[in-house]
Structure 1
Amino acid sequence: MEFRKKIEELLGSFLEEREDLFLVDLKFSAADDITVILDGDQGVTLQDCLDASRAIEFNMDREEHDFSLQVMSAGLSEPLTTPRQYRKNIGRELDLLMTDTTKIEGELAKVDDDKITLILRYRKPKEVGKGKVDVVEEKEIPYTEIKKALVTIKF
């Protein structure tokens, strides 16, 4: 069996047993350095990463094919890529870079399979007179229009 296909199957079997975890990214370098990035509905623990690593390593023969394996959780610096990741972050502030290069910041309110809904809060000039008014609006954004989505970290 082809090396990459075997890794994908082993990882797939592990994730079938652990329905609370899901794959964010699987990368193979030319030197067969494998990077697995996982996320979970309740987060990812060190033990989850160890279990995933063992599920792959214990079923591969390094004498037959030499490789390095790194299993990690999706960090806050990693962009959101799947509806499941967005769902996990409902209620958090997101910074979006759109495909047309505009930037949008708002609170993630709803998620479905085709789009997200953000609550946008901003100030705009009054229509009559001087000064500004606070505005709160919901904006639906299809995934196809999102180039990059990051969770905003506030202290």
Structure 2
Amino acid sequence: MIKESLIQGIIDKKLQEDEMFLVELEVKPGNKILVIVDHDNGVPISYCIELSKVIEAGLNRDEEDFELEVASAGIGQPFKVKRQYQKNIGREIEVLTLEGKKFNGKLTEVADDTFSVEIEEKVKVEGKKRKELQVRTVNCKFDEVKQVKDIISF
């Protein structure tokens, strides 16, 4: 079976040269290779084709057959690596915590093991009849969230 480390070695230099980053690399039974990449400005399909050719050139089908899929990180898909968080600073995201709590807000900061989200919520203000919209910052630890993804708005 083809090893992920072999694929990693084949694509590392290319990704670095093109300022791309690896989101996911998986080799499933039957040598089904999945490579998902991203870039701060998105990934054109032509780049996926180019990277696919680099991988094909680095492997030998005569020694071991394989199935290859190279794709860009999908819009609205959960973030898998910290660089995706950094790429989306200033954008609206949806956070699902391990406790099942879900909220939306603007991603404002990313640190080593946490990220910050600015959320708007209606709060009852003492002495007023109506609730007022207030903005507050929620700090989340990466290991305390189940899923985070960007929100697409039109």
State whether TM-score is above 0.5: yes
Q: Structure 1-normalised TM-score?
A: 0.91
8 Å contact from structure 1 (residues 35, 70) kept in 2: yes
Q: CA deviation at 1:129?
A: 4.1
Q: 1:152 is matched with which residue?
A: 151
Aligned residues: 153
RMSD: 1.5
Over residues 89-143 of structure 1, what are the superposed CA-to-partner deviations in whole Å (9 max), with x where a residue is unaligned? 1111111100111112101111122211111111122333421111111121111
Instruction: Please name the residue that 1:104 is paired with.
Output: 103
Say if 2:51 is the partner of 1:57. Answer: no
**TM-score normalised over the length of structure 2:** 0.91
Q: Paired residue for 1:90? A: 89
TM alignment of 1:35-46, pairs within 5 A: 35-46=34-45
Q: Which runs of 5+ in 1 are unaligned?
A: none
Query: In structure 1, the residue corresponding to 2:47 is in which secondary structure?
Result: helix
Structure 1 residue identity aligned to 2:117? L
Distance 2:74 2:97 in 1: 21
Q: Identity of aligned pairs, percent? A: 34
In the alignment, is the contact (CA less than 8 A) between 1:83 and 1:112 conserved in 2?
no
1:7 aligned partner:
7
| Aligned-partner residue type, residue 64 of structure 2 | H
Residues 17-75 of structure 1, C-alpha deviations (whole Å, 9 max, x = no match)? 32x10110112221111111101122111222122111110121101100011100001
Unmatched runs of 5 consecutive residues or more in structure 2: none
C-alpha separation in 2, matches of 1:55 and 1:66:
16
Q: Deviating runs (4+, > 3 A) in structure 1?
A: none
